[in-house]
Structure 1
């Protein structure tokens, strides 16, 4: 694969290093000449000095033949512009680093569905350690899907029901059930849900609120 990495900071450098180790063709674009020189010392000729927010720079980097563009600068607005230009130039896949989680919706509305937020990743790890947290984000998938874990409380409206009796939002799927003893099982339509079960579910992000209400209940008022 030919992968363009916009931003030669620590994230861009280590990303390029790993991708080169996997024998991908990689080019890092860095606007600061001093930083570009440092990266070049480590990565050889896989660095270009330029502003990734400018279409001419991306064109010179061969964006039209790139399989993927990863915008990992420290500025969310720059990353949004870079992904927009890449899409306009016909790149099928873009990945954007988001520093402020509040910007995630803006990226999604612009068609940039794959975003990485260090803040959200750390928060997800913290939430997994909170005994009162009943909906835990696990992973953002491609095409606007998310993998979440939902722990059914004693007052869950679906406790005692079979999987086929639970009306989930469209494009939502229970992929795994882990009982309170930590034993995983693949659900079927006849699998009965119990309080204390942890459900691993794939769903669209916009459906998570409905999903939470259906499985946990509206009285808990917990945010994802």
Structure 2
């Protein structure tokens, strides 16, 4: 997935770190030249200096081919402008914007190009879930010290796992199916549970990659 992140504050750099480490093609845009320079070679992402409110900067960063734009600046006005440009001028499929001031929440909708508005107080993992919900397999939480990843994969109508029992699936070594979420409710992953379209699978692993998990269910 090709991702553009506007704003290299704490939140923007954390998202770049997580999504970049998950093998996404990430570009982080920062208008402060010194900060942009300091971040280069420290993140698994390309860092572009410039004001993301300017179309030429977004285009240079790759907005024409981006799958996702995340506006995380500290100014709601900037996040709205970035969202509108991403959606209207560059036809980006998914636009996520941070709302810094709760009183401005009503503005953050599709009239301004925002697909998903995320409150500033939302935890990082929640924002990443919202940002990447278009993907069928995403890392929800990377517990690097423990060497454990928690991933989620969604079952679509085309998934090879539809209609198959969990016992019939061969998951990678060191991987456990933690829960099945069906109709918004978690279900214990019993061996005879048959997967259906719309199911969400939570997987815990210390060694499997996202591609390996995807191959089991997709």
Counterpart CA distance in 1 for 2:99 and 2:35 is 21
Question: Could you tell me which residue of structure 1 aligns to residue 108 of structure 2?
Answer: 107
Counterpart CA distance in 1 for 2:117 and 2:107 is 11
SS in 2 for 1:82: helix
Counterpart CA distance in 1 for 2:130 and 2:2 is 23
Question: Could you tell me which residue of structure 2 aligns to residue 147 of structure 1?
Answer: none
Counterpart CA distance in 2 for 1:101 and 1:7 is 19
RMSD: 3.0
1:3-18 correspondence runs (5 A):
3-18=3-18
- Where does the alignment leave 5 or more consecutive residues of structure 2 unmatched? 124-128, 134-182, 186-218
Question: Could you tell me which residue of structure 2 aligns to residue 67 of structure 1?
Answer: 67
Gap change, CA 1:45 and 1:19, over 3 Å in 2: closer
- Partner residue of 2:120 out of 114, 118, 121: 118
SS in 1 for 2:42: helix
Question: Per-residue deviation at 1:118?
Answer: 2.6
Instruction: State whether residues 79 and 98 of structure 2, in contact with CA within 8 Å, keep that contact through their aligned partners in structure 1.
Output: yes
Gap change, CA 1:46 and 1:15, over 3 Å in 2: same
Moved over 2 A (4+): 139-142
- Where does the alignment leave 5 or more consecutive residues of structure 1 unmatched? 123-138, 143-174, 178-224
Counterpart CA distance in 2 for 1:21 and 1:84 is 28
Q: How many residues align?
A: 133
Tell which structure's C-alpha radius of gyration is larger. Answer: 1
Q: What is the TM-score with the length of structure 1 in the denominator?
A: 0.53
Question: Could you tell me which residue of structure 1 aligns to residue 58 of structure 2?
Answer: 58
